[in-house]
Structure 1
Amino acid sequence: MVNKVSKGYKWLMLCLVGLGYTTCCMTIWMYYSYYDLMQKYFGATNTQMGYLGTITGLVMIVCWPVGGMVADKVSMRKSFLACMAFTVVFFVILAGLKNFNVYMVMLFASCIMMGVYYTLFGKIVKGVSTPETEGKNTGYFWAIYSLGGSVIGAFGSYFVTKMGMAGWRPLMYLFIGLAVVCAVVCYFSLKEDRFNDWTQLDTNKEKPKFEMKSVSKVLLMPEIWVASLIYFTMLMITCAGIRAVSMMGSVYMVPLGIVTFIGVFRQYIGRVILSPVSGFMIDKWGSSMKVIRLLLVITLVGMAAFFIFPVGGDYFWVGILLVVCCTIGYGMQAPCWMTPISEIGVPVAYHGTAIGLYNGIGCISDAFIYVLCGNWVDKYGDVKGNQISIGFICGMLVLCFVLTLVESKMIEKRRDALGRPLPLKAS
């Protein structure tokens, strides 16, 4: 496939969708980064805040597939502008809203928007890529998103530190401003005819035009379902990392300076560096499944050390090792969330639909794993509760490893049937 996208336009689109995701994803997952601030602003209880993760996780199971079909049906430009318009309205309301129940209603609407945007950015990244560069470009996307979130987070922390709760409104204005800028850039620059034509890789039997009657064929592809289960289990690495960090102070008595360093490591190195590295590896090896197996092994090494060595302050390095291994797994997995769809050989016209189904199934784990592990810690204490939690996640990651072996075989058979070379390696 010939690459007709210039480097300048590629980076413009990657920055557009990366920074667009920085702002619009906060309409749903703001509590991940600003939990305490939101709780104080709304006067919400911990139970109410806990509902945010469970409810959005469950609602998104439906919104991912629906959003994927919308992203396939509506033009990229219109979809992107609609998402940015929604984001602006959302944060304008949130800048003056203090009613938690109204916020919950807004959150439901945000889930629909995010279902569209999440599949949309996958299509745009794919459009400026070739089969040999999709992995690294996906990694660049996640790095740009992380940098954008870090910059806004730094300003937000400054506002709150200097102004107290009055800093809430300027923080909302930052998200609004970024959404407006992205909308303007999109309006003048996002043109699908400048993207690479992936339909060249479709077979004659697979129609390049989206048709509802053919959606069921995509939804029933066994390769997508196995990939979704891989995603489902792999996502638990994030929870393992959170549990590991929580143990550093309460169990391993790690000094504050080291904890701070690890926090910076997780925020910046985890995505800004490791995601592009992972993307390069996907392109070089021609398989996201191989990269997933590598990051699983690294993560499991940290978990093995956690169970082999005693728990306590004398073995604080074990806690650090666990956090580092989980961070590497967390940072490397992001490019692997999208690239399997291309490797499976899903028709381009149904790429968004496939991503929607893939995420809908894969993200189910987000709806229960945090609550489940939290309950174990509350019931059995920091040491035993975390041992049960890490042990459960460890078992899921072993299952994930086995599933990647199965998926590799399935992808190979499908690509042979489609008459495409395997693997697609970067030169």
Structure 2
Amino acid sequence: MSYLLNKMGIRGSLRKNFGAIVILAFTGSVIFALPFFRFEYYDAYVSTYHLTNTQMGVFGTVIGVFGIVSYLFGGVVADGMSVKKIIVLSPILTGLGGLLHLLPLRFWGLVGIYALWGISTTFAFWPACVKAVRVMSDKDSQGKAYGFFEGMQSVAGAFTALVAVLIFKWGTSGAGNEVLAMKYVILFYSFTNIAMGIVALYTVEDDKIVLDADKVSFKGIKKVLKNPAVWIICLVSFCNHVFCLSIYYYIPYVTDILGAAVAFGAMMGVLRKFGSIGGNIVGGYLADKFGTGKLMLSAYIVMLVGQIAIFFVPAGVKSSTIIVTILFITILTFFHMNYAMAWTMMSEGAVPIEYCGTAAGLICTAGAIPETFISLFAGNMIDNHPGIAGYRYFFIFLTIVIALGLVLILIWKAYLKRAKMDKSKIDEKAMDKLKQYV
């Protein structure tokens, strides 16, 4: 194993803590399966629980509202609380929420479940993971560290999603009972979450993940808010999460508008996860070699071109499903380069490591804001503009968001250039002052 890691260029702290990062990644993958699996089985979920597209959007809004509050305070907690406790309790609570989902609940009962998931999947869990990965890797391997962290999440997510598809198909193969098949999928994801919490309990060691903090403190928020780099990363995170939540609507577009089967839509979700593996890991190596800014700029350009190309794919043509699926995977591969590398911007922008958890919490808060309106906005647009029109209007909005992300990366590159020049001037002044005493 050591030989293989060495060949892959994984050395130093990253090599020493690689196993711990894999556990964090696997846990981070399964914890988001329950709150978002409804998108991969969109049509079946709507019919099973007798929902409208707008009600489906409400679930996303609930997760977003609870996520904003959770991330804001959870980032501070992540700078002072045991990572082990966070990654053990979070997936177990999420899994228990899944078991509650099996009860004969109506719409408002489901809202309560999504509120629970809004807390259990966010709060201190994600900021703690982000900080832990940064602490457990060297400065010159941040890209690879976050690339493998996101990539291993995709590996675990692809595997569990594939198993879930097989379970769903098995559940519908007999009597074609989608309600029963949906319950099997929920059970699978629930027990997987609980199992990962138990695995973390016996495998994660607190002394292996040092967070460099003695206690929970809110003083870091003020210092973090004064850092321009954090604000730019927050805006990039906002755009990334708008897209992250929006990509789920490619699946009902392919099934509802282009006429593909529900199982094919679920397989698109699996292909998305496999495509993201390459984007995450390859993106990590490229970011370490060429710089985060250059990589993200290139990725946004490819995303923009791919998104525009979808408008030229005609509906009602048999080959359209395949073309849109190929574009979908291409866009998603480059998106995941951006998504993983956004965290390396903290290191590139010199965000102090002792406030990394607090900064991650604020960045996650910015990322959670789209959850309050994207699903509701998309669902309402699809309901009010039946057929292809609703999806086309939503895709126009998505194209604008990608273009905004591209502009933000240009601003980021300009900021880094200016910061480098300012630092050079400070160094020159210090050197001139020193010469006076020599």
For the superposition of Structure 1 and Structure 2, which TM-score range results when normalised by the shorter chain? 0.7 to 0.9
Single out whichever of 315-324 and 398-407 deviates more from structure 2. Answer: 315-324
The residue number in structure 2 matching 1:31 is: 38
1:282 aligns with one of 283, 287, 300? 287
The residue number in structure 2 matching 1:48 is: 55
2:305 aligns with one of 301, 305, 317? 301
Distance of 2:249 and 2:43 partners within structure 1: 18
Distance of 1:41 and 1:385 partners within structure 2: 23
Letter in 2 for 1:53: G
Distance 1:285 1:46, change over 3 A: same
2:70 aligns with one of 60, 63, 79? 63
Distance of 1:255 and 1:173 partners within structure 2: 26
Distance 1:416 1:187, change over 3 A: farther
Distance of 2:407 and 2:276 partners within structure 1: 25
Number of aligned residue pairs: give it.
407
The residue number in structure 2 matching 1:423 is: none
Distance 1:327 1:265, change over 3 A: farther
Kindly indicate whether the alpha-carbon contact (under 8 Å) linking 1:209 and 1:349 is maintained by their aligned counterparts in 2.
no
Kindly indicate whether the alpha-carbon contact (under 8 Å) linking 1:92 and 1:176 is maintained by their aligned counterparts in 2.
yes
Q: Structure 2: give runs of 5+ residues left out of the alignment.
A: 1-9, 172-176, 425-438
Matched, 1:212 2:218: yes
Letter in 2 for 1:112: I
Single out whichever of 45-54 and 93-102 deviates more from structure 2. Answer: 93-102
Distance of 2:18 and 2:110 partners within structure 1: 35
Distance of 2:410 and 2:334 partners within structure 1: 18
* Alignment of structure 1 residues 307-326 onto 2, 5 Å: 313=317, 316=320, 319=324, 322-326=327-331
Distance 1:180 1:322, change over 3 A: closer
The residue number in structure 2 matching 1:389 is: 394
Letter in 2 for 1:302: G
Shift of 1:354: 0.8
The residue number in structure 2 matching 1:140 is: 148
Shift of 1:110: 2.7
The residue number in structure 2 matching 1:221 is: 227
1:126 aligns with one of 98, 118, 134? 134
Kindly indicate whether the alpha-carbon contact (under 8 Å) linking 2:278 and 2:333 is maintained by their aligned counterparts in 1.
no
Distance 1:137 1:379, change over 3 A: same
The residue number in structure 2 matching 1:356 is: 361
Kindly indicate whether the alpha-carbon contact (under 8 Å) linking 1:65 and 1:355 is maintained by their aligned counterparts in 2.
no
Matched, 1:232 2:232: no
The residue number in structure 2 matching 1:327 is: 332
Kindly indicate whether the alpha-carbon contact (under 8 Å) linking 2:61 and 2:371 is maintained by their aligned counterparts in 1.
yes
Distance 1:147 1:290, change over 3 A: same
Distance of 2:421 and 2:30 partners within structure 1: 41
The residue number in structure 1 matching 2:24 is: 17
* Alignment of structure 1 residues 109-188 onto 2, 5 Å: 109-113=116-120, 114-163=122-171, 164=177, 165-166=179-180, 171-188=185-202
Kindly indicate whether the alpha-carbon contact (under 8 Å) linking 1:266 and 1:327 is maintained by their aligned counterparts in 2.
no
Shift of 1:213: 2.5
User: Does the residue aligned with 1:405 lie in a helix, a strand or coil?
Assistant: helix
Distance 1:315 1:79, change over 3 A: closer
Shift of 1:358: 1.0
Single out whichever of 146-155 and 268-277 deviates more from structure 2. Answer: 146-155
Distance 1:263 1:173, change over 3 A: closer
Letter in 2 for 1:388: Y
Letter in 2 for 1:77: K
The residue number in structure 2 matching 1:422 is: none
User: Does the residue aligned with 1:147 lie in a helix, a strand or coil?
Assistant: helix
Distance of 1:219 and 1:325 partners within structure 2: 35
Distance 1:160 1:303, change over 3 A: closer
Matched, 1:343 2:357: no
Shift of 1:65: 1.4
Distance of 1:248 and 1:418 partners within structure 2: 51
Single out whichever of 329-338 and 115-124 deviates more from structure 2. Answer: 329-338
Distance of 2:154 and 2:200 partners within structure 1: 20
Letter in 2 for 1:313: V
Could you report, residue by residue, the CA deviation over 1:165-220 in whole angstroms, capped at 9, with x for unpaired residues?
A: 445565455445434543344334433543589x7xxxxxxx99764223212123
Matched, 1:101 2:108: yes
Q: Structure 1: give runs of 5+ residues left out of the alignment.
A: 200-206, 420-427
Distance of 1:159 and 1:311 partners within structure 2: 30
Letter in 1 for 2:358: T
Kindly indicate whether the alpha-carbon contact (under 8 Å) linking 2:35 and 2:114 is maintained by their aligned counterparts in 1.
yes
Letter in 2 for 1:10: N
Give the alignment's TM-score, normalised by structure 1: 0.79
Distance of 2:315 and 2:111 partners within structure 1: 40
Could you report, residue by residue, the CA deviation over 1:90-112 in whole angstroms, capped at 9, with x for unpaired residues?
A: 34434556455344224323322
Superposition RMSD in Å: 3.8
Distance of 2:380 and 2:202 partners within structure 1: 50
Distance 1:408 1:111, change over 3 A: same
1:194 aligns with one of 204, 208, 218? 208
The residue number in structure 2 matching 1:424 is: none
Kindly indicate whether the alpha-carbon contact (under 8 Å) linking 1:378 and 1:385 is maintained by their aligned counterparts in 2.
yes
Kindly indicate whether the alpha-carbon contact (under 8 Å) linking 2:233 and 2:342 is maintained by their aligned counterparts in 1.
no
Kindly indicate whether the alpha-carbon contact (under 8 Å) linking 2:165 and 2:266 is maintained by their aligned counterparts in 1.
no
Distance 1:93 1:416, change over 3 A: farther
Letter in 1 for 2:306: G
Letter in 1 for 2:352: P
Distance of 1:232 and 1:94 partners within structure 2: 29
Shift of 1:34: 4.4
Letter in 1 for 2:39: Y
Shift of 1:120: 1.6
Letter in 2 for 1:344: G
Shift of 1:123: 1.8
Kindly indicate whether the alpha-carbon contact (under 8 Å) linking 2:287 and 2:295 is maintained by their aligned counterparts in 1.
yes
Kindly indicate whether the alpha-carbon contact (under 8 Å) linking 2:243 and 2:401 is maintained by their aligned counterparts in 1.
no
Single out whichever of 91-100 and 55-64 deviates more from structure 2. Answer: 91-100
